[in-house]
């Protein structure tokens, strides 16, 4: 944004060369020097104003962006991980510019700060009348879910801002640095572009070490984690989870043996209806209680020497703002995990071999 508003380097050099020329000429005309100093001061003030203005604006926009998705006070912790100026498009007919000004991603979840900017009066009218809903800006060719929220407090006559959140909880963090197709509305046509999922966030892999298991029907083995999200993998020993529709909702239906083991006498498959009880312990001893992690129990096609994705999700710990993300400080500083009441030590591994 600063680069967009600042004069180009050549223009800045020309401005100061002109001031210096006038200053040299002013040595012969001392009565003009006072006026020249005022001119130079004004020029310097203008440049300073141009430099400072977009920084303030960026901070305001980012504050609104974080408020949509992050637990209060957590936003500043990930400022340095944000990638700026990711994508822009003026479409086929112009009048409006669409920009992804900021992106934060670990390859599993993606947060985008999007701005629509009117370039002229016709663009202003279109932007004013255009309706945006959850289907307006989306990734059509990758599985997962997305949320689109407008940041109305940031809007001006020429700009509208949107916070886009996308999640792909397959546990593989495979969107990192990938080009994905994005659909979005533009002036009188459908915008389509290839957007790179830019990420400065690293993932860390752990092997789970413990003598017990939450069930004889599955065995947790590995944890992959970033500052924002996690995934736990294991071996399927007969849990056989399948989706079923009941009362207008989708639920997991587990094998009868697993249900009996968990005491579900009615065999309705609601054992993990609220999610898998999960908590992490950090190196300094602090415990992070996730509450209930979304269960998946799905085939991973051999990822991480496992055939079962047990659970995956983001670090939205059980707080008042339970739906907001609370990034952890260091994914490499985890020491223990507890899954459904069973404790495991965590041993860091460089890579997790494919099956």
Tokens 């509208």 sit on residue: 160
Contacts of 300 (CB under 8 A, 6+ apart): 170, 171, 172, 233, 306, 307, 308, 309
Would you say 185 and 191 are in contact if contact means Cβ atoms under 8 Å apart? yes
pLDDT at 31: 47
**Backbone torsion region of residue 54, taken as left when φ is above 0, otherwise alpha when ψ lies between -120 and 50, otherwise beta:** alpha
CATH assignment of 80-196, among 1.10.287, 2.30.30, 2.60.40, 2.60.120: 2.60.40
First to last CA, the chain: 46
265 token code pair: 């006498």
The lowest-confidence range among 104-113, 265-274, 285-294 is: 265-274
Distance CA 344, CA 213 (A): 9
- Most confident by average pLDDT, 8-17, 32-41, 254-263, 295-304: 254-263
pLDDT at 78: 79
Tokens 């983001």 sit on residue: 314
pLDDT at 355: 39
**Coil vs helix vs strand at 344:** strand
Interior CA angle at 287 toward 67 and 308, to 5°? 85
pLDDT at 123: 96
Contacts of 308 (CB under 8 A, 6+ apart): 218, 233, 234, 235, 236, 239, 297, 298, 299, 300
H helices then E strands: how many in the chain?
Answer: 5, 18
| Helix, strand, coil share (%) of the chain residues, nearest 5 | 25, 35, 35
- Name residue 166's beta-bridge partners: 110, 146
pLDDT at 107: 92
What ranges do the domains of the chain cover? 2-67, 80-196, 204-349
Question: Could you tell me the pLDDT band of residue 4, with boundaries at 50, 70 and 90?
Answer: very low
Residue-wise pLDDT for 112-124, tens only, equals 999 999 999 999 9
Distance CA 312, CA 309 (A): 8
Rounded alpha-carbon distances, angstroms, from residue 80 to 76, 84, 102, 104, 201: 8, 10, 11, 10, 10
Tokens 């949509």 sit on residue: 68
Mean local confidence (pLDDT), 256-271? 82
Mean pLDDT of the chain: 79
Would you say 343 and 289 are in contact if contact means Cβ atoms under 8 Å apart? no
Residue-wise pLDDT for 314-354, tens only, equals 887 655 666 678 888 899 999 999 999 999 999 998 765 54
pLDDT at 170: 81
Residue-wise pLDDT for 274-292, tens only, equals 788 999 998 888 888 888 8
Residue-wise pLDDT for 139-166, tens only, equals 988 888 888 999 888 899 999 999 999 8
| % pLDDT > 70, the chain | 74
pLDDT at 298: 75
pTM: 0.76
Q: Is residue 222 predicted with pLDDT exceeding 80?
A: yes
Would you say 233 and 304 are in contact if contact means Cβ atoms under 8 Å apart? yes
129 token code pair: 């009348």
The lowest-confidence range among 37-41, 63-67, 74-78 is: 37-41
Contacts of 178 (CB under 8 A, 6+ apart): 107, 196, 197
Question: Could you tell me the pLDDT band of residue 110, with boundaries at 50, 70 and 90?
Answer: very high
Q: Is residue 100 predicted with pLDDT exceeding 70?
A: yes
Strands 334-339 and 295-298: unpaired
pLDDT at 341: 93
């Amino acid at each position: 944004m600063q680069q967009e508003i600042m004069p180009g380097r050549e223009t800045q050099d020309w401005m100061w060369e002109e001031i210096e020329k006038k200053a040299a000429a002013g040595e012969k005309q001392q009565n003009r020097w006072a006026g020249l100093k005022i001119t130079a001061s004004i020029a310097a003030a203008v440049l300073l104003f141009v430099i400072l203005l977009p920084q303030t604006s960026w901070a305001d926009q980012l504050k609104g962006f974080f408020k949509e998705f992050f637990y209060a006070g957590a936003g500043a912790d990930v400022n340095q991980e944000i990638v700026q100026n990711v994508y822009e498009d003026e479409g086929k007919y112009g009048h409006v510019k669409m920009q992804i000004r900021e992106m934060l991603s670990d390859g599993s979840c993606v947060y985008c700060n999007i701005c629509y900017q009117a370039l002229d009066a016709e663009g202003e009218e279109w932007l004013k009348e255009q309706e945006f809903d959850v289907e307006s800006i989306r990734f059509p060719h990758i599985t997962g879910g997305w949320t689109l929220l407008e940041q109305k407090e940031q809007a001006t006559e020429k700009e509208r801002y949107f916070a886009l959140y996308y999640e792909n909880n397959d546990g593989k963090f495979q969107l990192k640095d990938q080009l994905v197709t994005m659909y979005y509305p533009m002036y009188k046509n459908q915008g389509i572009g290839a957007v790179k999922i830019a990420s400065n966030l690293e993932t860390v892999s752990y092997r789970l070490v413990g003598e017990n298991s939450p069930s004889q029907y599955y065995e947790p083995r590995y944890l992959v984690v970033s500052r924002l999200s996690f995934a736990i993998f294991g071996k399927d020993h007969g849990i056989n989870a399948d989706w079923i529709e009941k009362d207008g909702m989708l639920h997991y239906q587990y094998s009868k043996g697993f249900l009996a083991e968990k005491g579900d006498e009615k065999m309705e498959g609601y054992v993990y209806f609220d999610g898998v009880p999960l908590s992490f312990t950090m190196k300094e001893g602090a415990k992070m209680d996730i509450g209930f992690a979304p269960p998946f129990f799905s085939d991973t096609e051999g990822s991480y020497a496992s055939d079962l994705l047990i659970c995956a999700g983001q670090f939205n710990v059980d707080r008042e703002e339970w739906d907001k993300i609370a990034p952890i400080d260091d994914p490499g500083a985890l020491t223990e995990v507890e899954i459904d009441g069973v404790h495991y030590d965590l041993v860091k591994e460089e890579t997790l071999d494919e099956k």
